[in-house]
Amino acid sequence: MENITHERLLIIDFGSQVTQLIARRLRELNVYCEIHPYQNVTDTFLRGFAPKAVILSGGPDSVTREGSPRAPQSVFDMGIPVLGICYGQQTMMEQLGGKVVSGEGTAEFGRAYVTPTGKLSLLDGWFAEDKEQVWMSHGDHVSEIAPGFAVYGTSPNAPYAVTADVARNFYAVQFHPEVHHTPNGSKLYENFVRLAGFCGDWTMGAYREQAIAAIKEQVGSAHVICALSGGVDSSVAAALLHEAIGDQLTCVFVDHGLLRLNEAEEVVGMFRDHMNLKVIHADESDLFLGELEGQSDPETKRKIIGRLFIDVFQKYADEIEDAAFLAQGTLYPDVIESVSFSGSPSVTIKSHHNVGGLPEKMGLKLVEPLRELFKDEVRALGVELGLPTSFIGRHPFPGPGLAIRCPGEITREKLEILRKADAVYIDQIRKHGLYDDIWQAFCAILPVRTVGVMGDGRTYDFACALRAVTSVDGMTADYYPFSHEFLGETATRIINEVPGINRVTYDITSKPPGTIEWE
Ligand code: XMP
């Protein structure tokens, strides 16, 4: 956002898998930070960004390799605090006159313990006992610290686990304070931002005001259209835009007939009737279900839905006069440029659907008011904007909806059964107080009928699979360990309350090797 007024911290990324976690820890401390790949951090960039402090991330390369990444030297000449982590620590030492070695005895992976060797403000309140657990993941280590530095903590394989040049406010740690396995790691970030003088001005209340001003400035008197899905991101984006520009916003809710029980009514009801947003309820279920008839291949189904979604959205958007902007609920993790070492494209597992490509085709500009936020910040902003917490805390729901929870051919009959079974399952989860412990839960109707016996009669009905996973970002997931009592009770309720299902299974596949959805 152009008119940023809050204090800023810059994270220079050297390609660590966990760089985003550094940003998460800092945002939790109400400190605004951005991640930028080391290649992009030029002197001009640094002057423009004007960070109050810099963190150098970890990374997979070796400082001892010729041509390996370095921090811009000017970072050390700006008179601001710098914290180097793992690779960041090593390049900092090397660039400031110390030495890094690779080879036998320099590596350390996994849990380690750091013992203090001196008193340092960065470590205030950190050592609960005489040593502290940390997570190490390094092949090389510092063999000689740079002039001006002193040692404040050591571990068995990292003699310089914590070092600092207090006069210059430079700090360097060999371990990763941002990961879960450094249980007290947040304390170091808290101390670092305190030492750097941050006042903690990054709050959702402050962001709301600033974002509204920025939207007004960007949009002026033009009209904005927004594809409202009922998911958290598009809902919060719509609520924020509405607060900024009122009737200049029109939302299009594309109902593809693949939504959950009462979902369309709930979403449209909330936004149109309670929040007074202009919402077009595009009921195009006949179109979608018609084109999906007879299709059983997962990718074909996804492609049909993606294509129709864009056609339908465009049809309704074309009717909105003076539309100049398309709103998107893009989040910060989607815009962080990653440091690429391999350069090789990854394999497509599933083609996700979105409205990508549409803005250029329709001559629309983008307005993305959530571009700076992580998912939990979006939720906090939603609450700040008055959206009900039950709505904000809803599990993610995929764009293709129930189509990918109905493996094989989709029929209206199967969708009806699936909706009912899913509603009973979610009701069970809520009643047992488990909803917020689970990242995503849903029911899938399987393309198989099984024989059962109910009363004195034979049944020949569908089987369904229950899915519930814990996850942080959907990239990896574990199945949720329900009790047998819960599973038994849920199976009984589904079979009793949902005609058409006579067998219930629980999916205990993790991701990988499975995916969360069935298609
Ligand atoms: P998978 O099944 O790939 O799902 O493990 C990971 C997460 O992504 C969601 N998902 C989608 N979300 N459009 C979306 O907006 C899609 O096409 C799509 N496919 C999967 C899925 O629900 C899970 O949260």
The answer on pLDDT for 342 being more than 60 is no
Separation of alpha carbons 433 and 441, rounded Å: 13
Q: How many CB atoms lie within 10 A of CB 341?
A: 11
**Is the minimum distance from the CB of 353 to ligand 1 under 6 angstroms?**
yes
The second-level CATH assignment, the architecture, of 411-506 is: 2-Layer Sandwich (3.30)
Residue nearest ligand 1's atom 10 by CA: 398
**Cα 80 to Cα 171: distance, rounded to the nearest angstrom:** 11
- Each residue of 71-112: pLDDT tens digit? 999 999 999 999 999 999 999 999 999 999 998 888 888 999
Fold equal for 8-195 and 411-506? no
The verdict on whether 180 is a catalytic residue reads: no
Confidence grade of residue 423 (pLDDT, cut at 50, 70, 90): very high
CA of 184 from ligand 1 middle (Å) equals 33
Residues 249 and 274: beta-carbon distance below 8 Å:
no
The pLDDT tens digits for 251-293 are 999 999 999 999 999 999 999 988 999 999 999 999 999 999 9
Q: Are 39 and 15 in contact (CB under 8 A)?
A: no
Which two tokens mark 336?
């962080």
**115-148 tens-digit pLDDT:** 999 999 999 999 888 899 999 998 899 999 999 9
The partner residues of 53 in beta bridges, in order of sequence, read 9
Cα of 401 from ligand 1 centre, angstroms: 9
Amino acid at 24: R
Note the helical H segments in 453-512.
484-497
Ligand 1 nearest atom to the CA of residue 350, by list position: 3
Distance 398 CA to ligand 1 centre (A): 5
Mean pLDDT computed over every residue of the chain: 93
Kindly state if the Cβ of 269 falls inside 6 Å of ligand 1: no
The domain 204-392 is placed in CATH, from the list 3.40.50.620, 3.40.50.970, 3.30.70.2610, 3.40.640.10, at: 3.40.50.620
Q: Tokens standing for 155?
A: 């571990």
Asked whether the beta carbons of 226 and 234 are under 8 A apart, the reply is yes
| CA separation for the pair 385, 239 (Å, rounded) | 7
- Residues sharing a CB contact under 8 Å with residue 328, sequence separation 6 or more, in sequence order: 227, 237, 355, 366, 367, 368
pLDDT at 441 > cutoff 80: yes
Question: Which mutation among 352, 394, 507 tests ligand 1's pocket best, with the greatest number of atoms within 8 A of CB?
Answer: 352
Q: How many CB atoms lie within 10 A of CB 223?
A: 16
Question: What is the pLDDT, as a whole number, of residue 4?
Answer: 57
Beta strands 108-116 and 132-138: pairing type? antiparallel
List the one residue out of 472, 464, 397, 346 whose CA is nearest residue 230: 397
CA-352 nearest atom, ligand 1: 17
Ligand 1 centre distance from Cα of residue 499 (Å): 28
Degrees to nearest 5, angle at CA 151 with 149 and 157: 125
Active site residue 176: yes
What is the average pLDDT across 472-483? 92
246 Rama class: left (phi>0) / alpha (psi -120 to 50) / beta: left
Is residue 115 in contact with ligand 1, taking CB distance under 6 Å? no
Q: How many CA atoms lie within 13 A of 281 on its CB side?
A: 13
pLDDT category of residue 13 using cuts at 50, 70 and 90: very high
Count of H-run helices and E-run strands, the chain: 15, 20
Round to whole Å and give the CA distance between 214 and 236.
16
- Helix/strand/coil for 312: helix
Q: 305 C-alpha vs ligand 1 centroid, how far in Å?
A: 14
- In this prediction, residue 106 carries a pLDDT of 84
Task: Locate the domains of the chain by residue range.
Answer: 8-195, 204-392, 411-506
Using CA atoms, how far apart are residues 504 and 496, in angstroms rounded to an integer?
11
CATH 2.40.50.140 is the classification of domain 8-195: no
Between 168 and 337, name the one with better pLDDT. Answer: 168
Average pLDDT over residues 431-452: 98
256 CB within 6 A, ligand 1: no
Active-site residue, from 94, 108, 132, 178: 178
Written as one letter, the residue type at 6 is H
Give mean pLDDT, residues 176-187: 93
Contact 498/424 with Cβ under 8 angstroms? yes
Is-catalytic flag, 33? no
Q: Report whether residue 515 contacts ligand 1, using a CB cutoff of 6 Å.
A: yes
Query: What single DSSP character describes residue 145?
Result: P
CB of 15 within 6 A of ligand 1: the answer is no
Ligand 1 atom with minimal separation from the 439 CA:
24
Q: Yes or no: say if 108 and 141 are a contact pair by the CB < 8 Å rule.
A: yes
Torsion angles phi and psi, residue 510, rounded to 5: -90, 170
Q: Name residue, tokens 């929040």.
A: 275
User: Does position 64 have pLDDT exceeding 60, yes or no?
Assistant: yes
The model's pLDDT over 151-178, given as tens digits with 9 standing for 90+, comes to 999 998 889 999 999 999 999 999 999 9
Average pLDDT over residues 200-228: 95
Contact 217, 4 (CB under 8 A): no
Cα–Cα distance, 266 to 131 (Å, whole number): 53
pLDDT over 90 percentage in the chain: 83
**What DSSP string describes 365-411?**
EEE-TTTT--HHHHHHHHHHTT--HHHHTPPP--TTGGGGGS-S---
Return the ligand 1 atom nearest residue 396 CA.
24
Q: Check: CB of residue 486 under 8 Å from CB of residue 425.
A: no
Q: Residue 438: is it exposed, middle or buried by C-beta count within 10 angstroms (0-12/13-18/19+)?
A: middle
Q: How far apart are the first and last CA of the chain?
A: 37
Question: In this model, does residue 206 exceed pLDDT 80?
Answer: yes
Q: Which of 187, 257, 246 minimizes the C-alpha distance to 215?
A: 246
Q: In what order do the strands lie in the sheet with 249-255?
A: 278-283, 249-255, 223-227, 323-327, 365-367
Residue 203 pLDDT level (bands cut at 50, 70, 90): very high
Among residues 33, 86, 251, 464, the one annotated as catalytic is: 86
pTM of the predicted model as reported, rounded to 2 decimal places: 0.85
Cα–chain-centroid distance for residue 153? Answer: 34
Cβ atoms of residues 62 and 32 within 8 Å:
no
Cα distances (angstroms) measured from residue 281 to each of 233, 275, 348, 519? 18, 15, 32, 27
pLDDT (0 to 100) of residue 340: 62
pLDDT at 1: 47
CB 517 less than 6 A from any atom of ligand 1: yes
